[in-house]
């Protein structure tokens, strides 16, 4: 997966996904870059909870990432999904982009 450009810096999704998966309630994650509607991209994380766990809130996930990741690597949006689609060992990033686009367009999603 090629890096995502955030504020002129490269962000590798694998690095952010690894940190997200250290959260005690997160089983899997996929991180993508999406247009911020101005001139760049923002990080969007899709997270799937561990079986029997409730998905953590977006703010809880962002707070978990602060101190573990450099500021520009903390996801701007965190979206909860039932499971992360995979292509082999990696997340299916096309699925993640399509899912994130649909979820962000839904009423009630910031």
The span from the CA of 97 to the CA of 8, in Å, is 21
pLDDT digits 0-9 by tens, 41-54: 899 999 999 999 99
Considering the entire predicted model, what is its pTM? 0.91
Q: What is the pLDDT of residue 8?
A: 86
Helix (H) or strand (E) holding 55: none
Ordered by start, the domain boundaries in the chain are 4-86
Q: Give the tens place of pLDDT for each residue, 76-95.
A: 999 999 999 999 989 999 99
Alpha-carbon distance of 76 to 78, in angstroms, equals 7
For residues 102 and 100, give the distance between their C-alpha atoms in angstroms, rounded to a whole number. Answer: 5
Q: What whole-number distance in Å separates Cα of residue 95 and Cα of residue 23?
A: 23
Neighbours of 27 (CB within 10 A): 15
**pLDDT at residue 95 in the model:** 97
CATH code that applies to domain 4-86: 3.30.300.30
Find where tokens 């810096």 sit.
9
């Amino acid at each position: 997966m090629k890096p995502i450009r955030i504020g002129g810096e490269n962000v590798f999704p694998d690095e952010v996904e690894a940190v997200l998966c250290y959260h005690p309630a997160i089983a899997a994650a996929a991180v993508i870059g999406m247009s911020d509607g101005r001139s760049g991209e923002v990080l969007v994380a899709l997270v799937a909870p561990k079986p029997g766990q409730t998905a953590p809130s977006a703010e809880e996930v962002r707070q978990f990432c602060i101190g573990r990741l450099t500021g520009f690597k903390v996801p701007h949006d965190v979206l909860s999904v039932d499971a992360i689609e995979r292509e082999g060992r990696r997340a299916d990033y096309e699925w993640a982009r399509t899912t994130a686009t649909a979820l962000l367009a839904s009423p009630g999603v910031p």
